[in-house]
A and B are shown apart, each in its own frame.
Chain A
Amino acid sequence: MNAKVGVVVFPGSNCDHDAYYVFKEIIKTDTKFLWHKEGSIGDRNIIILPGGFSYGDYLRCGAISRFSPIMQDVVRFANKGGIVIGICNGFQILCESGLLPGTLMRNANLKFLCKTVSLKVENNKSIFTSNYGIKEDINIPIAHGDGNYFCDEDTLTELISNNRILFRYNENPNGSIYDIAGIQNEKRNVLGMMPHPERVSDSELGNTDGLKLLSGVAESVI
């Protein structure tokens, strides 16, 4: 396997070790942590922006992380077609940095939600979802207070017509527009999603619905 995964660690990241564990120990690929102050992603060809509360979610979730040194290189890498996955707080950072459209607002019911939810795979013709069936239902946990995806009408129309919505909630937990749980960018190399696939990737934990995503991405690097 030629995947070289870099898991970015911001001050306040807390799902970085889970992502590292899945790539290193389960998928068994070359995996490294990347501290946010590093100016370069080095030889990594898959970048993971993990979940957590980077910079304490101060100001807005992801707003400050977006300006950290490593993000300048992640943006450059993504714009050149490099694979970037933002999970939860990582999705928020991708929206703040302009790699994905829209934003994630406070959950409509104002509660922090921590539970497994049912998602529908909207589009399985992507490097992120190729291991799933079309319209397959999968169970992946969410853990967020600000997961209410919002974008303007024109952006939503564009997301729908270009098949950029990869995951939708079967029962909308947070008020997201069009039940959106995960989207990809126009070039189809950047994924942002609120649910945590890395938490359901070890068979010892009884559910591997997330592994299909992460291993599929690792296998896509030739």
Chain B
Amino acid sequence: MFTAKIKVTLRKTILDPQGKTVEHSLISLGYDKISNTRIGKYIEMKIDVNSIEEATVIVEESCKRLLSNPVMEDYQFEIIQNGAV
């Protein structure tokens, strides 16, 4: 069993109005060293396969086909093998 931790973010070239609005709010709270705030999605899922290679193929395809839209988003993920409990 593996756990995939996936991050989907707006591509760097795309303006993120939500991130900008949150950043303005943080700055108004006094955190004026903050810049480049970007908001994305975090997706976590379990994958019941025997190898990390199989898990990687599944996650990669999931990201490409459904979890992200390549026109506006990038994705990154890490896959962790679940230890025995």
Which residue numbers of A lie inside 8 Å of B, CB to CB?
A: 59-60, 63-64, 67, 95-96, 102-103, 105-106, 108-110, 150-152, 175
Contacts and interface: CB of A to CB of B under 8 A. Distances in A.
Contacts of B17: 106, 108-110, 175
Nearest to A66: B66
A64 B14 CA distance: 23
Interface string B1-37: 0000000000000110110010000000000000000
Contact of A102 (B14, B15, B66, B71): B71
Interface SS, A side: loop
B79 interface: no
Contact of A150 (B14, B18, B41): B14
Contacts of A105: 14, 72
B69 A150 contact: no
A174 to B, nearest CB: 11
Given A106-B18, A108-B17, A109-B17, A63 B71 contact: no
Given A60-B69, A103-B69, 19 more contacts: A59-B66, A63-B66, A63-B69, A64-B66, A96-B69, A102-B71, A103-B71, A103-B72, A105-B14, A105-B72, A108-B17, A109-B17, A110-B18, A110-B21, A150-B14, A150-B72, A151-B71, A152-B71, A175-B17
Nearest to A102: B71
Contacts of B66: 59, 63-64, 67
A110 B17 CA distance: 7
Contacts of B52: none
A63 B41 CA distance: 14
A90 B48 CA distance: 35
Interface string B65-85: 011010110000000000000
Given A59-B66, A63-B66, A105-B14, A150 B21 contact: no
A110 B25 CA distance: 15
Contacts of B67: 59
B1 to A, nearest CB: 24
Contacts of A150: 14, 71-72
Contacts of B15: 108
Contacts of B21: 110
Among B66, B67, B69, chain A packs the most CB atoms within 10 A around the CB of B69
A151 B11 CA distance: 12
A108 B19 CA distance: 12
Interface in B39-67: 41, 66-67
A189 to B, nearest CB: 22
Nearest to A107: B17
A-B pairs, top 10 by smallest CB distance, nearest first, are A103-B71, A103-B72, A110-B17, A103-B69, A108-B17, A60-B69, A105-B72, A150-B72, A102-B71, A110-B18
